[in-house]
């Protein structure tokens, strides 16, 4: 696979770490989601391909570390870019 091909593939997939909040606004979990973009006639559509949720009930820090690690692993495995939002 050429370098150009790889760059093109990277932009089509992203791994996002999203915050899951309860009704009071506290972060109760972190969700790692892999999205894939495909172009349709109505524009770009992001499809959720995989997701995994880590509960922050026991330890917020451990939850964040686990989420970051999984996000990096998925980014490497699927040739995606890690994006922080949510």
What is the tally of structural domains in the chain? Answer: 1
26 belongs to a structural domain: yes
Domain that holds residue 37: 10-84
The two three-digit tokens of residue 14, written as one number: 């992203």
Contact status, residue 37 vs residue 45, Cβ threshold 8 Å: yes
Angstrom CA distances, 60 to 19, 24, 47, 84, 85, stand at 11, 17, 28, 16, 17
* pLDDT value of residue 5: 46
Write down the pTM of the prediction: 0.75
Q: Where are the beta strands (DSSP E) in the chain?
A: 13-21, 27-40, 43-55, 81-84
CATH number at residue 40: 2.60.40
2 belongs to a structural domain: no
- Chunk the chain into consecutive blocks of 10 residues (it has 86) and report each block's average pLDDT, rounded to whole numbers: 46 88 94 85 78 91 93 92 77
75 belongs to a structural domain: yes
4 belongs to a structural domain: no
36 belongs to a structural domain: yes
């Amino acid at each position: 696979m050429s370098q150009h091909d790889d760059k093109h593939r990277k932009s089509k997939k992203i791994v996002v770490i999203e915050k899951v909040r309860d009704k009071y606004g506290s972060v109760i979990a972190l969700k790692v989601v892999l999205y894939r973009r495909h172009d349709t006639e109505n524009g770009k559509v992001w499809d959720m391909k995989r997701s995994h949720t880590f509960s922050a009930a026991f330890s917020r820090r451990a939850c964040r570390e686990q989420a970051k690690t999984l996000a990096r692993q998925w980014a490497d495995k699927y040739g995606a870019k890690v994006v922080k939002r949510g």
